[in-house]
Amino acid sequence: MVAGWETCLSVPGYAASVERPAAVDVRYERLDGTAVERRLRGFEARVFQHELDHLDGILFTDKADPRSLVHESYLLGDGPDSEAVCASLRQLAPEYEEEEYEESAGEGPRGP
């Protein structure tokens, strides 16, 4: 499981840290009926899981660490600096190294 920031148009203006598997195996059919099997990783896996949750009526806030829910201005520079955000993340998920936060920076907060 990997923690990453997520936002959604269903919950405008807010972001939260959500733990999801780093990779998922998926099977689906194209419009022409061709079956496809793929392993999705990283951002692509996160987006797929986020959107699949919507089909089950689940929002990212249902899976988020409730202590991590913030207004997106907090992450977009109108709030604390990035070091303060990283410090908050370390408190929420101390098992993750700062390098992992930096790698996932491209996944949010404007992500899925």
Please state the domain extents for the chain: 2-106
- pTM, 2 dp: 0.65
Taking the C-alpha atoms of residue 33 and residue 31, their distance in angstroms, rounded to an integer, is: 5
Q: Which CATH class is domain 2-106?
A: alpha beta
In whole numbers, what is the pLDDT of the chain averaged over residues? 82
pLDDT, one tens digit per residue, over 74-97 is: 777 665 556 666 676 666 666 555
The residue that leads in pLDDT, 63 or 100, is: 63
Would you state the pLDDT for residue 107?
47
pLDDT, one tens digit per residue, over 31-53 is: 999 999 999 999 999 999 999 99
Joined together, the tokens standing for residue 63 give 């899976």
Active-site pick, 51, 97, 98, 103: 51
Joined together, the tokens standing for residue 96 give 């993750």
37 labelled catalytic: no
